[in-house]
Chains A and B, each alone.
Chain A
């Protein structure tokens, strides 16, 4: 069963990180990626550019409304995601706990709506 792991953290917080700490974080993500791929659960995963690069689009009455920024201002921002294929929610939770950002941000786990 596929789950999406939405990785959220306080973007502004990264500004306080040293180059060395950011390097270590990337290493940890590399290791997580490897583990997910070798255990066969990996479907896909990407890191996103920070929210200042975001554009929100809405169509109302046939008109396309484009605004700068994410759809909602929140304390923590979506910074990346994974899709993993695991047997059940317990397995998904244990994978979520391994995602490096879960140690300081949060990871939302959502089942993928499978089309029948």
Chain B
């Protein structure tokens, strides 16, 4: 790649100083910059070119050029602007070559776009945020399948590679690549608009965006099958995108609620895993291991959401998580309030999973007999017979009321369903306790 393709020399942030401060090899620093900035840059390039593939290719090329220039010239003080400018030049070059091929004549003057180049730097910072919001609404458009929404969001906004996403979801790379191609093709051919939906559409368009982020988070948090480091990365990615969304839509209380919920859950990540690699349930967790900073962030977000007085499912779930976060032990938790919040959640989201979670709180208020009856009542609900936590909860409550045999049977059924080593270890220990 020739240096001639690089943009006008951008302002540099005293290169030697930058490199003195960054730990680790330069390439790692650059890769991190590429990943962190890719969402903003791609969003602005997609807006500019009107085509996702063109934008992705140009961004890749810009990164390659950066890897050649930056080690010598130093990290630009605004790497996103540098990469965007470079990528735009690549696009202009390509288009000019195509026109030349088509017409047989080399145009020596770029008609319209080239004049933009001079003030791109100036306008870049102010426009990037809006572009990212457009992109997330396009990625999570309800005309795309949920799988496609998740993959597009991680690829275009999260900066994850196709290989990384495939590994995280245990899908062959080829399958995932094809899913991406199809989704991008649908966006183009069906003309899914690249914009923030108008106000009257927001009530139906914001929830799918939040669902996608929460799905990404949960995929990493619950690790339903196997454990690889990339899965923790999904949680980090969901949190990062959640923070972006909060910055972009600070007045949407459910956006605040979702991020608060993810903060509370992520604060318990370390405490969820015991010394022997077993899953540790909330009442038994060492609360000293909870991440105070994330809890603080969650509480502040929830408070901001409450001021908007428009509750929703994520705010209610975050409120429940907050009550756990604020209690210094399981006994001193406000279970009564938690049951009331689950009632509210059930009203908004009637689901056997909510009934199950509510039953755990009920057992702390009214005792295990009442809770067990409520759990038994949903045994035939769709999905429960294959749901690990249904059987594990039923087992726990059965044990509390002294039904050792049915407790054992339920734990054993749960063990059959266990998808991770930590779940297996947890259940084997519970079964051993029954002997």
Complex CA distance for A111 and B143, rounded to whole angstroms: 13
Chain A residue total in the interface (Cβ 8 A):
8
0/1 string, A94-116, CB within 8 A of B gives 1: 00000000000000010100000
Chain A residues in 8 Å Cβ range of B192: 88-90
Complex CA distance for A1 and B190, rounded to whole angstroms: 9
- The A-B contact count (CB < 8 A) is 21
Complex CA distance for A109 and B189, rounded to whole angstroms: 12
Chain B residues in 8 Å Cβ range of A111: 189-191
- Interface residue from A1, A87, A90 paired with B197 (Cβ < 8 Å): A90
- Which of B141, B190, B197, B201 has most chain A Cβ within 10 Å? B190
- Tell me if B193 counts as interface (CB < 8 A to partner A): yes
Residue of A nearest to B201 (CB): A90
CB pair B190–A90 under 8 Å, yes or no, is no
Chain B residues in 8 Å Cβ range of A87: 191, 193
CB pair B193–A88 under 8 Å, yes or no, is yes
Residue of B nearest to A86 (CB): B191
- Tell me if A93 counts as interface (CB < 8 A to partner B): yes
Q: Of residues 69 to 92 in A, which have CB atoms within 8 Å of B's CB atoms?
A: 87-90
Chain B residue total in the interface (Cβ 8 A):
9
0/1 string, B134-152, CB within 8 A of A gives 1: 0000000101000000000
0/1 string, B159-194, CB within 8 A of A gives 1: 000000000000000000000000000000111110
Chain B residues in 8 Å Cβ range of A90: 192-193, 197, 201
Residue of B nearest to A91 (CB): B193
Residue of A nearest to B141 (CB): A89
Chain A residues in 8 Å Cβ range of B189: 111
CB pair B190–A89 under 8 Å, yes or no, is yes
CB pair A88–B143 under 8 Å, yes or no, is no
Complex CA distance for A97 and B299, rounded to whole angstroms: 40
Q: In angstroms, how far is the closest chain B Cβ from the Cβ of A53?
A: 31
Complex CA distance for A87 and B191, rounded to whole angstroms: 8
Q: In angstroms, how far is the closest chain A Cβ from the Cβ of B65?
A: 33
Q: In angstroms, how far is the closest chain A Cβ from the Cβ of B424?
A: 43
Complex CA distance for A109 and B142, rounded to whole angstroms: 13
Q: In angstroms, how far is the closest chain B Cβ from the Cβ of A112?
A: 10
Chain A residues in 8 Å Cβ range of B143: 89, 93
Chain A residues in 8 Å Cβ range of B190: 89, 109, 111
Chain A residues in 8 Å Cβ range of B193: 87-90
Chain B residues in 8 Å Cβ range of A109: 190
Q: Of residues 35 to 58 in A, which have CB atoms within 8 Å of B's CB atoms?
A: none
Chain A residues in 8 Å Cβ range of B197: 90
Complex CA distance for A89 and B143, rounded to whole angstroms: 9
Complex CA distance for A111 and B190, rounded to whole angstroms: 5
Chain B residues in 8 Å Cβ range of A88: 191-193
Complex CA distance for A90 and B197, rounded to whole angstroms: 9
Q: Of residues 189 to 231 in B, which have CB atoms within 8 Å of A's CB atoms?
A: 189-193, 197, 201
0/1 string, B391-433, CB within 8 A of A gives 1: 0000000000000000000000000000000000000000000
Q: In angstroms, how far is the closest chain B Cβ from the Cβ of A94?
A: 8
0/1 string, A1-41, CB within 8 A of B gives 1: 10000000000000000000000000000000000000000
Complex CA distance for A93 and B433, rounded to whole angstroms: 57
Give me the interface of B with A, judged by CB distance under 8 Å: 141, 143, 189-193, 197, 201
Q: 8 closest Cβ contacts across the A-B interface?
A: A88-B193, A88-B191, A89-B192, A89-B190, A111-B190, A90-B193, A1-B191, A89-B191
Give me the interface of A with B, judged by CB distance under 8 Å: 1, 87-90, 93, 109, 111
Q: List 21 A-B contacts (CB under 8 A).
A: A1-B191, A87-B191, A87-B193, A88-B191, A88-B192, A88-B193, A89-B141, A89-B143, A89-B190, A89-B191, A89-B192, A89-B193, A90-B192, A90-B193, A90-B197, A90-B201, A93-B143, A109-B190, A111-B189, A111-B190, A111-B191
Instruction: Kindly list 16 other residue pairs between chains A and B, CB separation below 8 angstroms, not including A89-B143, A109-B190, A111-B191.
Output: A1-B191, A87-B191, A87-B193, A88-B191, A88-B192, A88-B193, A89-B190, A89-B191, A89-B192, A89-B193, A90-B192, A90-B193, A90-B197, A90-B201, A93-B143, A111-B189
